[in-house]
Chains A and B, each alone.
Chain A
């Protein structure tokens, strides 16, 4: 059992000397930073990276792992308590997390999120430890055609996030797809809708849009409510802990979502947002209480939280075994490795066993540390709700402006972010849901580029989508997802 021995020595590295302190420090700082609007794990790691330069590479990477998981949990707190996700992969947590807060279940939501993160993270890490090598080779077999079909499947799954009018959901998703066409086209090199503005060449920055439509829109809605006197403070905080009934409802969700998260994470580039979306829609399909989703269903919170953390371990598989980053956060980690003089690649495990196993051990410890650090703090986090709204909104607006400026040190992003805030406000006023737009924005680029990559590789032969088995499976799943509700509906009517 070489693997177990390696893991044990890795955990030993992670808890020995100052390393344990670095994990705890990383996890706490990560949590705080991750709560800020627009700061997800990728940004948190990038921002805090320079502070690790004075450490030896193993300690630095271990601390960054702590920051990684910490920032994810911080993002969850902001999503659940304030309806302001830090990045695309915590968007799905707002759908049921925030309604739980509105119903006075903030404490329970935070506890469920922490537990889901822990379970998802740990199951993902077990996957990473045991099957990293063979699985990474298999994942490479999935090419642009499989990515395209997976993304189409995910796009179909965005329907599950829509409450009420399907037409408005459709408009929102299309808006996201349209906005994503701005920028230089990868395959031809020509610029689209950039009007000669260099800032628009790389497209609309996703985080700028997210900060705008969530943070600024929330501020505008609240201010309007305060001025008109219709604003109501969130309900008194109910029982702090989750009830037995709530635990029972989500007991299988933990595992289903973790598996989905890990598998999607394995595919380089698919990302946490896709993992959380697919876990959420799967949970909804299997649920007998489908109508409770979006209104504070605990499954709707646990699924994206577990999937998100499991996807991190999935994304680490191609990074550690092949040197290929699977997500934006692992891309920053890759940069961190290189800055510490380590060239990641297929020989990383062989040449740097102490480092790689130290990082994996560090992630296990960070996972536990987060649970231990954050569960006692839940009582503190829920007090965020007692901060007067006027003060809270001022702070959020300032953080939104600072956050969007700091993404690339440019005022252009700040104006763009405020513009998205106005767009989000108009959408909320007209009852057009925001989530499909953000998901459309996330998926659009990947859908278009993988389609065109596929066709250029196949010589414009469309049959590859059905002759390649995995691609065919995703295609059939998509068709099933679209058709099943249509077939199932009349039957329900007969009952």
Chain B
């Protein structure tokens, strides 16, 4: 009995002593999101959404500032963040560029050199055609591809080998056509790709669904397939997924949060908890809906695991496209 009490007292004391160690290390002072593109872009919208939700929901006491460091699809900002090793007050948003840059050999920095804090959202892909063109439906597109992929003029933005390029490549493969014959043209912005489709200079464009919503609603363009596991909401609710149409194409963009290298376990788990709270808050839902984001929180370990798998898959896809050897 006495021994037990002593034991439990020792346990209690141990717990008390350990408590400060067990609680996550919180950052002091203002936090900074380094945005890897200019104001108003995709990175900025997500950064602002996070800033707003953290603020309005009172998830953290710190103030959050945004700074802009555009360049190389985000790689300039990531490199800047990563220079502050062990500093948990600096984070940045990543996209599939973090994998494709490494696979293509254009980035000198790899996600494995940094701390991947979490995955946050998916931006699912939509494929659209021009209703006035010859290829104006999913059936006609597939038919043309199966005849010869070189018949189909595919337009996308913003860099060769990115998620939309690969999404299209997967569709071509799924319908049994030759990927290397695909006639792909890269435009320097999503808007230019949409303009090329409106003007019938290309036959099909794949990009994030948000970009097409208004054109689909107005009848200027027809979205014919979604490369996601489930349908989109809103005005795109009538568009079937590629899987529904019998083609196993699930490929899109995703966005998550990274921090500099050498963060401690406890610093990482502080961020994991806060970022999870953001995606689970009620203020988040309308923002996500408005931007066609599919919320998909993953913790740090799972995010890194997912990126490793993506890197493998991108490597395979880009080899099939002939972009790398």
How far is B40's CA from A341's CA once the two chains are assembled, in angstroms? 11
Is B24 part of the binding interface, using a Cβ–Cβ cutoff of 8 Å? no
Q: What mask results when residues 61 to 72 of chain A are scored 1 for a CB within 8 Å of chain B, else 0?
A: 000000000000
Is A473 part of the binding interface, using a Cβ–Cβ cutoff of 8 Å? no
- Contact with A409, one of B67, B72, B109 (Cβ below 8 angstroms): B67
Q: Do B160 and A189 touch across chains, with their CB atoms under 8 A apart?
A: yes
- Contact with A345, one of B40, B73, B218 (Cβ below 8 angstroms): B218
Q: For B73, what are the chain A residues with a Cβ–Cβ distance below 8 Å? A: 201
Is A456 part of the binding interface, using a Cβ–Cβ cutoff of 8 Å? yes
CB distance from B289 to the nearest CB of A (A): 12
Q: Do A189 and B161 touch across chains, with their CB atoms under 8 A apart?
A: yes
Contact A186 to B218, CB < 8 A, known contacts A141-B199, A339-B40, A339-B48: no
How far is B38's CA from A453's CA once the two chains are assembled, in angstroms? 26
Is A57 part of the binding interface, using a Cβ–Cβ cutoff of 8 Å? no
Q: Do A198 and B183 touch across chains, with their CB atoms under 8 A apart?
A: no
Contact A186 to B214, CB < 8 A, known contacts A46-B39, A341-B290, A459-B183: no
- Contact with A198, one of B75, B185, B189 (Cβ below 8 angstroms): B75
Q: Do A144 and B217 touch across chains, with their CB atoms under 8 A apart?
A: no
How far is B186's CA from A336's CA once the two chains are assembled, in angstroms? 25
Closest to A53 in B: B48
CB distance from B41 to the nearest CB of A (A): 6
Q: Do A202 and B68 touch across chains, with their CB atoms under 8 A apart?
A: no
- Contact with A335, one of B40, B153, B218 (Cβ below 8 angstroms): B40
Closest to B74 in A: A198
Q: Mark out the residues of chain A between 316 and 335 whose CB falls within 8 Å of any chain B CB in the assembled complex.
A: 318, 322-325, 331-332, 334-335
CB distance from B263 to the nearest CB of A (A): 22
Closest to B291 in A: A338
- Contact with A143, one of B38, B106, B199, B217 (Cβ below 8 angstroms): B199
Q: Do B192 and A201 touch across chains, with their CB atoms under 8 A apart?
A: no
Q: Do A457 and B150 touch across chains, with their CB atoms under 8 A apart?
A: no
Q: Do A334 and B40 touch across chains, with their CB atoms under 8 A apart?
A: yes
Q: Do B68 and A408 touch across chains, with their CB atoms under 8 A apart?
A: yes
Contact A408 to B39, CB < 8 A, known contacts A190-B104, A324-B191: no
Q: Do B218 and A408 touch across chains, with their CB atoms under 8 A apart?
A: no
Q: For A190, what are the chain B residues with a Cβ–Cβ distance below 8 Å? A: 104, 106
Q: What mask results when residues 158 to 188 of chain B are scored 1 for a CB within 8 Å of chain A, else 0?
A: 0111000000000000000000000111111
How far is B41's CA from A46's CA once the two chains are assembled, in angstroms? 11
Q: Do A199 and B71 touch across chains, with their CB atoms under 8 A apart?
A: yes
CB distance from A253 to the nearest CB of B (A): 31
Q: For A196, what are the chain B residues with a Cβ–Cβ distance below 8 Å? A: 108
Q: Mark out the residues of chain A between 405 and 429 whose CB falls within 8 Å of any chain B CB in the assembled complex.
A: 408-410
Q: Do A318 and B195 touch across chains, with their CB atoms under 8 A apart?
A: yes
Q: Do B215 and A49 touch across chains, with their CB atoms under 8 A apart?
A: no
Q: For B194, what are the chain A residues with a Cβ–Cβ distance below 8 Å? A: 322-324
Q: Do A198 and B76 touch across chains, with their CB atoms under 8 A apart?
A: yes
CB distance from B166 to the nearest CB of A (A): 12
Q: For B39, what are the chain A residues with a Cβ–Cβ distance below 8 Å? A: 46, 49-50, 332, 335, 339
How far is B68's CA from A409's CA once the two chains are assembled, in angstroms? 7
- Contact with A186, one of B183, B186, B199, B202 (Cβ below 8 angstroms): B186
How far is B213's CA from A335's CA once the two chains are assembled, in angstroms? 16
Q: Do A408 and B201 touch across chains, with their CB atoms under 8 A apart?
A: no
Q: Do A408 and B40 touch across chains, with their CB atoms under 8 A apart?
A: no
Q: What mask results when residues 248 to 272 of chain A are scored 1 for a CB within 8 Å of chain B, else 0?
A: 0000000000000000000011000
Is B96 part of the binding interface, using a Cβ–Cβ cutoff of 8 Å? no
Q: What mask results when residues 159 to 196 of chain A are scored 1 for a CB within 8 Å of chain B, else 0?
A: 00000000000000000000000001111111100101
Is B220 part of the binding interface, using a Cβ–Cβ cutoff of 8 Å? yes
Q: Mark out the residues of chain B between 188 and 228 whose CB falls within 8 Å of any chain A CB in the assembled complex.
A: 188-189, 191-192, 194-196, 198-199, 201-202, 210, 213-215, 217-218, 220
Q: Mark out the residues of chain B between 73 and 123 whose CB falls within 8 Å of any chain A CB in the assembled complex.
A: 73, 75-76, 79-80, 104-109
How far is B160's CA from A331's CA once the two chains are assembled, in angstroms? 22
Is B274 part of the binding interface, using a Cβ–Cβ cutoff of 8 Å? no
Is B45 part of the binding interface, using a Cβ–Cβ cutoff of 8 Å? yes
Q: Do B160 and A198 touch across chains, with their CB atoms under 8 A apart?
A: no
Q: For A449, what are the chain B residues with a Cβ–Cβ distance below 8 Å? A: 188
Q: Do A268 and B45 touch across chains, with their CB atoms under 8 A apart?
A: no
Is A347 part of the binding interface, using a Cβ–Cβ cutoff of 8 Å? yes
How far is B44's CA from A202's CA once the two chains are assembled, in angstroms? 18
Q: For A188, what are the chain B residues with a Cβ–Cβ distance below 8 Å? A: 160, 323
Is A482 part of the binding interface, using a Cβ–Cβ cutoff of 8 Å? no
Is A21 part of the binding interface, using a Cβ–Cβ cutoff of 8 Å? no
Q: What mask results when residues 194 to 209 of chain A are scored 1 for a CB within 8 Å of chain B, else 0?
A: 1010110110000000
Q: For A226, what are the chain B residues with a Cβ–Cβ distance below 8 Å? A: none
How far is B192's CA from A179's CA once the two chains are assembled, in angstroms? 24
Is A142 part of the binding interface, using a Cβ–Cβ cutoff of 8 Å? yes
Q: Do B38 and A335 touch across chains, with their CB atoms under 8 A apart?
A: yes
CB distance from B11 to the nearest CB of A (A): 51
Q: For A50, what are the chain B residues with a Cβ–Cβ distance below 8 Å? A: 39
How far is B67's CA from A50's CA once the two chains are assembled, in angstroms? 12
Q: For A457, what are the chain B residues with a Cβ–Cβ distance below 8 Å? A: 153, 183, 185, 201-202
- Contact with A325, one of B48, B70, B191, B202 (Cβ below 8 angstroms): B191
Is B295 part of the binding interface, using a Cβ–Cβ cutoff of 8 Å? no
- Contact with B72, one of A198, A269, A338 (Cβ below 8 angstroms): A198
Which residues of A pack against B, CB within 8 Å? 46, 49-50, 140-144, 184-191, 194, 196, 198-199, 201-202, 268-269, 318, 322-325, 331-332, 334-336, 338-339, 341, 343-348, 408-410, 449, 453, 456-457, 459
Which residues of B pack against A, CB within 8 Å? 38-41, 44-45, 48, 67-73, 75-76, 79-80, 104-109, 150, 153, 159-161, 183-189, 191-192, 194-196, 198-199, 201-202, 210, 213-215, 217-218, 220, 290, 323
* A–B pairs, 20, beta carbons within 8 Å: A46-B38, A46-B39, A144-B196, A187-B185, A198-B108, A201-B75, A201-B76, A268-B192, A318-B195, A322-B198, A325-B191, A335-B39, A339-B40, A343-B214, A348-B214, A410-B71, A410-B76, A453-B185, A453-B186, A456-B184
The 5 closest A-B pairs by CB, nearest first: A335-B40, A345-B214, A189-B160, A201-B72, A140-B199
Q: A345-B214, A456-B184 are in contact. List 13 more A-B contacts (CB 8 A).
A: A49-B39, A186-B188, A188-B323, A189-B106, A190-B106, A196-B108, A268-B192, A324-B195, A332-B38, A335-B44, A347-B218, A408-B69, A408-B76
